[in-house]
Amino acid sequence: MARCERGYLCEVCGDEVEDITISDLYLRFVMGEVDGRALMSTPERHLRCNPVVAQFIVDPDFEPVVVEGPFAKTELDPTDVAAREEFVTRAWRRLQEARQLGLAISEYPLSRTP
C-alpha cells in the first residue's frame, strides 16, 4: 500500500492506528486534553504506545498496562490514582461506544464529573 493510502501512523511504533477505539489521540480528545481543531494536526499514537496514560484504564475488556519508574501509578498518591483511573476508564468506555451511539464527534468529550 502506498504511504499516502495509509491511515494515521503511530508516532511511536510507526504502525497504522486503524481505529479510534485504540487511539491515544482520540482518548485524550474525549478527556478534553486535545481540542477538536487539533485532531487533524496532532501526532497519533496507539493507546498502548502511551503507557503512562493507558495504565489508568481499568476495565475487563482492556488488558492492563504496567508502567515502572517515576511515572508508574504505584508511585503516585492513591487518591489521585483512583480519580484518574475513574476518569480515564470512563473516557475509554465512551470512546468504545461513541460510534454505536451515533454521536457527532463534537459530543465525544466528557465532563470531569460523572
User: Would you say residue 54 lies in a domain?
Assistant: yes
Number of domains in the chain: 1
pLDDT band at 104 (very low <50, low <70, confident <90, very high): confident
SS3 state at 55 = coil
Q: What is the pLDDT of residues 65-98, one digit of tens each?
A: 999 999 999 999 999 999 999 999 999 999 999 8
In a domain, 57, yes or no: yes
Residues spanned by the domain of 100: 3-107
Domain assignment present for residue 65? The answer is: yes
Structural domain includes residue 102: yes
Tell me the pLDDT tens digit for each residue of 29-49.
999 999 999 998 999 999 999
Backbone phi, psi, residue 46, to 5°: -70, 155
Q: Any residues with CB less than 8 A from the CB of 112 and at least 6 apart, and which?
A: 32, 87
